[in-house]
Amino acid sequence: MRTILLTILLCCVFPVSAGGTLKAVMSNDQTPLIQSHRINVVINNGFARTEVEQVFSNPNEHAIEAIYAVPVPQSAALSELSIFLGDMELQGEVLERDKAEELYQKEREQGRDAGIASKDAFDTFHFRVSPVPSMGESRFRYVYYQPIDIDTSVGRYVYPLEEGGTDEVAEQFWTRNEHVSGVFEFDLLIKSSWPISSIRIPGFSDAVQSKGNDGSHHIQIKRSEHDLTSDIVVYYQLEENLPSRVEFLAYRPEASADGTFMMVVTPGLDLKELNQGADYVFVLDYSGSMQDKLSTMQRGIEQTLGKMNSNDRFRIVRFGNQASELIGWTQASPKQIESAMSRLSKSSTIGGTNIYEGLSMGLEKLDQDRVTSLILVTDGVANVGLVEPQAFHQLMTTVDIRVFGFLMGNNSNWPLMRTITQASGGFYKGVSNSDDIVGQVLLAKSKITHECLHDASLEIKGINTYGVNNEFLNKVYRGQQLVFFGRYTKPGQARISLKARLSGADKTYQTEFDFPEVAVDHPELERLWALMRIEHAEDMHNAGLMDEAESESLVKALGLEFQLVTDETSMVVMGDDQFEQYGIDRNNRNRVMLERQAQLTRSQAPIVSPRVDRKKPMFDLPAPSLGGGALDPIHLLLAVVLALGVFIHLRQKS
């Protein structure tokens, strides 16, 4: 498995469409133009704040509605939407989805300035702004938060723009303009209490990096025009031999209120490498949307099999409308690999995306005496056969096998993949075309080729907590950082225990620290906690442990209380007088004021380490890292050149 994931991911790069302004195909209007697009990101010890400001212009001789679509970032809490009228800012409020739509349409019909942000299932945020005046401009901005974890001492931030190209119906309805005709700016500030050894932004050689006196790192990209066709991916690697640790942030505005916390556990574990022969089941997507990259994927599998050990075995299942076994269990010898590839090269796409049948067939014929991993590679959304998440959860609980999912593109079904991997104790990765594929594989490889903690559970004693996301913990892999959100009712000293089994022996890792009585520096944690509970409700429903009505009710309640755009809520923007006329409280405006003040205070303060287990470390060993300067520019350049050479060679052969 040392190079299996590398070749698979490398050879699944494919052309996609991009985010941008939309216009109905049959409309006679010209598509709104993007005059400027500015992104401002701050990563500060555990979570990122992303602010996007965009200016539209209307080339038509009458006022229009501008529609902008962008992929939903993974675990993103959309918290602000504003429209600017000169220097005046109109801010949005989150309401029930139908109510927000009704008010937006009323304001739009009256010709008053209005906007709305809504979420289209799991994959797209839609923003609508009206009116954009004839031959005039309209400026709007939105803000979202998301947790950032460190994987094997490497952080990764993605600003998503690419779409997966899997929604043919939408593509037939909309035309798209992704060109920024004016200024494009990307500004990212990383404030880390741990030293950063190197930073990389693949595909942006014009990125300017600088380091502040406080140890912060600043990245800027500025262009006079730009196409919104590629994700922006930023890697940053922490120095080697940093301590394993427990880090803690809290928000409790006053002694009478419940507190909210984020706890990040970076384990230092003695996880040995697995060197014995293993079995690998490849479940590959051969649906119609794979047509343009099918030959490349087939060549990639050939390279993958050629790098397996002779005592490994492989099996290949493909799926489209139906699943079929292309290759039964086969020893990874050169002769057998050549025979397998001869058959694989004759395969073609086969319609829709029947992931369930592909997984079902992949789980057949397992040898209980051998360690088996299932590698699912797909760019699509389940649309044939069984598509209910509960069915996938039940399927994955019938056998003891780890599923490692690789999702290609930003339109993939994240909630479904969470259901599959959580039930199996595996993990999933999103892969952007802008990723350093080599680096992504190095991060994944060390997890699959090393021992992991089994039956892991988190306990917090000494204080009363609730709403902690530890239900699906199960297994802990090498380099994996554990991010927990929760709430607490009273302050005091807490005893934190991570219990698990390693090589058949019980293990307990413990530490103690205080939950504060008052903490006002991070009000954004409330939204992040609420988003985690929303995802948990979705996961519980997908696993058949919560009925649909209860899940929808909980999602709606959390969205309204903590002002988040969800499947059940939308954010509508109007003038202050209109909110007052409709009797709508300014809950989000009040939250935004608190958050902006806290952000201003933090920006003027020195970087403070959130580590809380210095006196009583939870782990004895240092935090794992890739080693060898994995993000060192010279080493990465060589790796990328080699990878690119393989990719070009495969493309030429195909």
pLDDT surpasses 80 at 552: yes
pLDDT digits (tens, 9 = 90+) for 74-105: 888 899 999 998 889 999 999 999 999 999 99
Predicted pLDDT at 7 = 40
pLDDT surpasses 50 at 629: no
Which domains occur in the chain, in start order? 4-12+275-393+438-447+630-653 (3.40.50.410), 20-241+565-601 (2.60.40.1730)
Instruction: Assess contact for 14 and 412: CB atoms under 8 A.
Output: no
Predicted pLDDT at 496 = 97
Instruction: Assess contact for 437 and 13: CB atoms under 8 A.
Output: yes
Predicted pLDDT at 440 = 63
pLDDT surpasses 70 at 649: no
Task: Write down the pTM of the prediction.
Answer: 0.84
Of the chain, the percentage scoring pLDDT greater than 70 comes to 84
Determine the Cα–Cα distance for residues 605 and 587; give it in Å rounded to an integer.
Answer: 28
pLDDT digits (tens, 9 = 90+) for 502-526: 888 999 999 999 999 999 999 999 9
Pairing of strands 150-151, 402-408: unpaired
pLDDT digits (tens, 9 = 90+) for 135-167: 989 899 999 999 988 888 999 999 988 765 545
Predicted pLDDT at 632 = 39
Predicted pLDDT at 5 = 42
Predicted pLDDT at 457 = 93
Nearest to 220 by CA among 252, 186, 192: 186
pLDDT surpasses 90 at 572: yes
CA distances 328 to 332, 399, 466, Å, are 12, 19, 48
pLDDT surpasses 70 at 458: yes
pLDDT surpasses 80 at 307: no
Residue 126 has a CB neighbour count (10 Å cut-off) of: 15
Question: Which helix (H) or strand (E) segment is 530 a member of?
Answer: helix 525-542
Half-sphere exposure of 285 (CA within 13 A, CB side): 29
pLDDT surpasses 60 at 176: yes
Stretch 349-368: mean pLDDT: 90
Determine the Cα–Cα distance for residues 49 and 614; give it in Å rounded to an integer.
Answer: 28
Q: Which single residue is written with the structure tokens 């930023």?
A: 234
End-to-end CA distance of the chain: 25
DSSP designation for 541: H
Could you tell me which residues come within 8 angstroms of residue 114 by beta carbon, excluding any fewer than 6 positions away? 83, 103, 104, 107, 108, 129, 130, 572, 573, 574
Of the chain, the percentage scoring pLDDT greater than 90 comes to 48
Mean pLDDT value across the chain: 84
Nearest to 55 by CA among 230, 220, 185: 185
Could you tell me which residues come within 8 angstroms of residue 275 by beta carbon, excluding any fewer than 6 positions away? none
Could you tell me which residues come within 8 angstroms of residue 224 by beta carbon, excluding any fewer than 6 positions away? 182, 183, 184
Half-sphere exposure of 251 (CA within 13 A, CB side): 17
Determine the Cα–Cα distance for residues 412 and 64; give it in Å rounded to an integer.
Answer: 31
Determine the Cα–Cα distance for residues 160 and 195; give it in Å rounded to an integer.
Answer: 27
Predicted pLDDT at 51 = 96
Predicted pLDDT at 654 = 35
651 falls in which pLDDT band (50, 70, 90)? very low
Name which residue leads in pLDDT, 473 or 197: 197
Predicted pLDDT at 309 = 76
pLDDT surpasses 80 at 454: yes
pLDDT surpasses 60 at 40: yes
